[in-house]
Structure 1
Amino acid sequence: MTTATSITIGNWKGLLGRGAAPRELECLLAIAGGASGKEAARTLGISEDGVKKRLIALGTKWGVTRRTALVAEAFKRGVISPAATALALLMAIHGMIGDDQAMRVRRGGSGGERKIETRVATRRAECALAVA
């Protein structure tokens, strides 16, 4: 959903006019929501290379090279709305209740497992927000 001042993807809202082009912001929101480059491309109807190029372009504008740094910079610049903060708060509360299963990270194996577990935890929190 796109309006004149913001773009919303899932439970994430990004504000336009703060240094990111609309398509760059869409890619950033998809990545911030835990999607891989391939998943973001599928959601946005563009190629995976297109997602990478837009994230690189945004990173160049903001002076960052990693995706996590790009998301952090978006928070710092106020590009990602406080709705994302509510998701982080929900995840933190869920972790404090003692349900380690949702936030569990497997030891051993490749680093890909950790990314998958993080995505699973993010999706569970998004579903909980949608129900609330």
Structure 2
Amino acid sequence: MNQMIISGPWVGFLGKGLAERELSCVLAVASGHTDKEIAKMDGLSPRSIKGRIESAMFKLGVFKRSALVAEAIRLGLIGFSTGTFPTPEPHDETKTTQGILIA
């Protein structure tokens, strides 16, 4: 049975190639946190966090943080946890956006 780490809207699966601390950092990166923010949350130095993220990148064969998250999702290392998302607000057709494209 695989162990999981839940972090906000993300869930990470241990035993699939990343160490627990590496996986925890990948989840934090997926949530948009900087190295300094992750370090503060984990009580570690930003340099230590940077090393863990670089180690995860090396293991997954990527060179950018965005690619790290994408590859972790593709490999099934991380995914969205269920039941943690707020319900979306209904779309208001009467609102206009003058000169701004919203996709």
User: Could you say which TM-score interval applies, normalised by the shorter chain?
Assistant: 0.7 to 0.9
Q: Which of the two has greater strand per residue?
A: 2
Which letter maps to 2:37?
A: E
State yes or no: 1:97 paired with 2:91.
Answer: yes
Give the CA deviation at 1:63: 0.6
Which letter maps to 1:18?
A: K
The answer (yes or no) to whether the contact 2:14–2:77 under 8 Å persists in 1 is yes
Give the number of aligned pairs. 91
Partner of residue 44, structure 1 = 42
TM-score by length of 2: 0.75
Unaligned runs of 5+ in 1: 105-132
1:22 to 20, 44, 52: 20
Which letter maps to 1:31?
A: V
The answer (yes or no) to whether the contact 2:12–2:23 under 8 Å persists in 1 is yes
TM-score by length of 1: 0.60
Q: Which of the two has greater helix per residue?
A: 1
Runs of 4+ in 1 over 6 A off after TM superposition: none
Unaligned runs of 5+ in 2: none
State yes or no: 1:5 paired with 2:11.
Answer: no
Name the CA distance, whole Å, in 2 between partners of 1:97 and 1:54: 41
Partner of residue 59, structure 1 = 57
Name the CA distance, whole Å, in 1 between partners of 2:44 and 2:91: 40
Q: Higher relative CO (CA 8 A, sep ≥ 6), structure 1 or 2?
A: 2
Give the CA deviation at 1:13: 1.1
1:82 to 73, 80, 83: 80
Q: Name the SS for the 1:18 alignment partner.
A: coil
Give the CA deviation at 1:60: 0.7
Name the CA distance, whole Å, in 1 between partners of 2:91 and 2:39: 35
